[in-house]
Structure formats: C-alpha cells, structure tokens
Homo-oligomer: A and B are copies of this chain.
Amino acid sequence: MATTLFQDLDTVRYEGQDSKNELAYRWYDSDKVVLGKPLHEHLRFAVAYWHSLAMNGSDPFGAPTIHRPWMNRSDAMPAAKEKADAAFELFRVLDLPFYTFHDRDIAPEADDLRGSLKNFHEIVDYLAKKMESSKTELLWGTANLFSHPRFMAGAATNPDPDVFAYSATTVKHCMDATKLLGGDNYVLWGGREGYETLLNTDVGHEMDQAGRLLSLVVEYKHAIGFKGQILIEPKPKEPTAHQYDFDTATVFGFLKKYGLENEVKVNLEANHALLAGHTFEHEIAMAGAFGILGSLDVNRGDPLLGWDTDQFPNDLWDTTLAMYHVIQAGGLGKGGMNFDAKVRRQSFEPEDLVFAHVGAVDLCAQAFLKAADLIEGKDLSKLVDERYAGWKTPEAEAMLAGKVTLADIAKASEEKNLNPQPKSGKQERLENLVARKLY
C-alpha cells in the first residue's frame, strides 16, 4: 500500500519541560526510573484502534465529520489493510508501546458468521505481520458485541439463545486472536448487557446468562493456555438504560455470585466511573481493596453532560489521584493505560489526533511522577497512618479480628463509660499538600 495518513508526521520524542515544541513530550521520559522501574513499565500506554482509526465524528444529531481514506471504500478488506497501515504509522508517530482493538475495528462484518470470522482472521494475520516490524504490542483484544442489530437486546444476555451462541463464538475467536498476537489481556465490555425497560426483562435470567459466558471464557482461557488477564469493563448506562456491570462494586458482587473473583479483574474507565456517580480514583481504590484492579481506560467525561464523551484527559489533580491509587494498589501488572478517548467531532484533522495523544500522555506521565513523589514523601500517608493508629493496639486488633462478641464489647465499653472525642479530618490541609506538589 502506498501512502498512509500519518506518514509525514515525525515521531514524537521526549524533549523535557523546557521544550517549546507542541508535538514533543515534556514529561513522558519513558526510560526514566521511578519506584524501581522505568516509566513505560508502569504506564504501559496503549492507542485505541476504534477511537483513533475507526471513529468518524458522527453524533446523534450529526453526520460524520472525519473522513479517512479507508472509510466508505467499496472494497472492505483492502480498506481494512489500509487502515491497519495507518494505525501502525500512528503508533510509530506516537511512539507508544501498546494498542487495543475490537474485532469490528480491524475487520469488516461479512454477509454471514463464517465470512465475518474469515475476514477477522485474515486481518489478524495482517496485523501479526505488521507487528513484526513494529515496537507496538497488543495490550488487549475484545469483541464488539453491541453495534450490530443482532445485539440490540444484548449479547450474552439476549432473550434469544442463538445470540448468546453467536456472541460466544465471536469471543472464542477474539480470544484466539488475542493469544496469537501476544496480547496481555482479554476484555469484555457489556454495552448491551443490561435492559432498556424492566417491563420486558428477566434480570435474574439475564445475569445468569452473563455469568455463564464469563465462566466459559475463563474455562477457555485455561484450556488454550492464554496467560493474560480476563477483564470486565464496568459502565452503568449508555447505550442501555442499565448495564449489569454498573461499577466496580457491582462487578465484584457479580464475580462473587458466579465464583469468578479470582479469575477476572476490571478494566476501569474514567468516564464510566463518572456516569456511575464516582470519581476515577474511587473506582481504582475500590478495585484495589477488592483485589481486582486490572487495567485502565484513561479518558475524561464532562460532569455536566450525561453521556460518554470519552475526551482526552487534561486535569492534573484528578489524574494524579488516579495514579496515586494505582500505585497504592500495587500497579497494573499485565494491564496498562489505554487511551479510550476520541478527538472532538470538530477536530477532524490527522494532526488533531497527535495533539490529543501528546497532551494525554504527558498528563499521565506528569501525574504518575507527582503521585510517586507523594508516595515516596509520605506526605499523605503519614497523616492517614496516624489517623488509623488506634487500630494497632492488641485490643483493637482482636475486636477487628472477631475475637470478641458484641456483648463483650458492650460490657467493656459500658465499664469504661467510653467517650470518644472527635479528631479533625484535616481535609483542607491534605488538599493543600497535594496542590503544592502539583502546581
């Protein structure tokens, strides 16, 4: 294939904070060692195929504004290859270590199931070849089980068992492809796994269906020896009125219900946290506490808008707190930070994609460095440790460990005529400590 869209763009390089180059990294010094590892091992950034290569800028009130050469070509498979060529050029320009995809991002639907699978594997092979000469690896693969009308009432949770079977089949092939391409994770996002109205829905039956698919996935993972993580990406609503994987806590309960809590982790997205009424750092901290933090979809939402804007992140405060809890949870392991973010509809030029990624990469790198600094300086943890210090006495430990009964505790408290006194939570002081580290 001759030319690609990003071919003439220079590779973005780290130039340090004094650089005036708008298309250089000022913070993302990928080999810089912090907390014992180079930055790139902590962050494991990934470019999202769908948002960067497949999105066309349409919205519910408007037609596409982004017209890439491979869109609307009449020859779908050559178009898919042209798109792949452009993708790897973009990866080269951004100089990031990973990418992520849905089956439908990389290969076109055909007239029937067999044809669609054939298309998919042909492009997977094409990607495998491209990866041989690229530094960019696969963070994770996934299946698009929400766009086609057959999924309109759910994929695993469809009232029609044939749709379940169709979905399971698609997932099987996507897992095979992810393994073949050396992916580190396999993700499930349940865009249609929920309901539009309870009037026509049996939620118990549908959750059992979803639990079954996930069990099948876990068994298959072991059967084929896939060493990556299995991840669920929570999202509360949009496109449906309610999705069963609402947030981290909901997914944790779901995993416990089906006995999968040691097999499956979460891929957390900032904008999805927001739609569930949470901050990103909340979701990360909860996943840390439940032991199911897997990977991140880094982006941002607009708290004043009620849909998934999937914007590139730009707020240092929020992102630093997210990174802080990632470190607290022990890092992302095989997971990474996927830019599940799209340029605005009006930003239709190829260059806009690069601006967007450069800003986001730098923000996350800066945020991670600041968070590491907070961790190492114990600025916050000193005060937190003091706050919970009372629980370190033998009596308190025994109480927490369940070695005394409610009646025992009552007896002792009444004897002491307990009268605990409030202590200031020092929220403003702690916020100042963060602010001084950041700005």
Residue on B nearest A150 in the bound complex, by CB: B420
The 4 closest A-B pairs by CB, nearest first: A306-B306, A253-B253, A346-B425, A303-B303
Q: How far is the CA of A112 from the CA of B416 in the complex (A)?
A: 11
The answer on a CB contact under 8 Å between A347 and B428 is: yes
Given A347-B426, A348-B422, A418-B162, also A253-B242 (CB < 8 A): no
In the bound complex, residues from chain B placing their C-beta under 8 Å from that of A181 are none
Q: How far is the CB of A148 from chain B (nearest CB, A)?
A: 6
Q: Give 9 A-B contacts (CB < 8 Å), ordered by A residue.
A: A152-B422, A165-B409, A198-B325, A200-B426, A205-B388, A246-B249, A252-B253, A305-B306, A348-B424
Cα of A436 to Cα of B363 in the assembled complex, Å? 10
Report which of B212, B302, B348, B419 forms a contact with A402, defined as CB distance below 8 A.
B212
**Chain A: interface size category:** 35 or more
Known: A249-B250, A439-B439. A161 touches B281 (CB 8 A): no
Question: Which of A36-44, A74-82, A135-143, A271-279 makes up part of the contact surface?
Answer: A271-279
A359 touches B432 (CB 8 A): yes
For A158, what are the chain B residues with a Cβ–Cβ distance below 8 Å? 420
Given contacts A281-B198, A282-B242, contact A169 B414 (CB under 8 A): yes
Q: Which of B196, B198, B199, B366 contacts A282 (CB 8 A)?
A: B198
CA–CA, A387 to B250, complex, Å?
Answer: 26
Whether A147 touches B63, Cβ cut-off 8 Å, given contacts A162-B390, A203-B289, A413-B169, is yes
CB distance from A364 to the nearest CB of B (A): 12
Interface string of A115-155 (1 = CB under 8 A from B): 00100000000000000000000000000001111111100
> So how many copies of this chain end up in the complex?
4
Contact partners of A363 in chain B: CB under 8 A: 435, 439
| Interface membership of A187, Cβ < 8 A | no
Q: Which residues of B contact A217 (CB under 8 A)?
A: 406
**Does residue A434 face the partner (Cβ distance < 8 Å to B)?**
yes
In chain B, what residue has the closest Cβ to A19? B436
Contact between A405 and B219, CB atoms less than 8 A apart: yes
A262 at interface, CB cutoff 8 A: no
Contact check, A438 vs B439: say whether CB atoms are below 8 A apart.
yes
A216 to B399, CA, bound (A): 10
- Do B113 and A241 have beta carbons less than 8 Å apart? no
| Complex interface residues of chain A between 294 and 329 (CB less than 8 A to chain B) | 302-308, 312, 314-317, 321, 325
Chain B residues whose CB sits within 8 angstroms of the CB of A250 once the complex forms: 247, 249-250, 253
Give chain B residues whose Cβ lies under 8 Å from the Cβ of A35. none
User: A62 on the interface (CB 8 Å rule)?
Assistant: yes
**Would you give the shortest CB distance from A164 to chain B, in whole angstroms?**
7
Within 8 Å of chain B (Cβ to Cβ): is A108? no
A238 interfacial by beta-carbon distance below 8 Å: yes
Chain B residues, CB < 8 A from A289:
203-204, 207
For A312, what are the chain B residues with a Cβ–Cβ distance below 8 Å?
428, 431
Q: Please judge, given known A-B contacts A147-B61, A198-B281, A238-B307, whether A418 and B253 are in contact too, CB under 8 Å.
A: no
Contact of A316 among B153, B409, B439 (CB under 8 A): B439
Chain A 230-273: CB-based contact to B (< 8 A → 1; otherwise 0)? 00000011110110001101101110110000000000000000
Contact partners of A428 in chain B: CB under 8 A: 312, 343-344, 347, 352, 355-356, 359
Q: Which of B146, B290, B420, B424 contacts A162 (CB 8 A)?
A: B420
Given contacts A166-B418, A419-B112, A428-B355, contact A223 B402 (CB under 8 A): no
Residues of B within 8 A of A347 (CB): 424-428
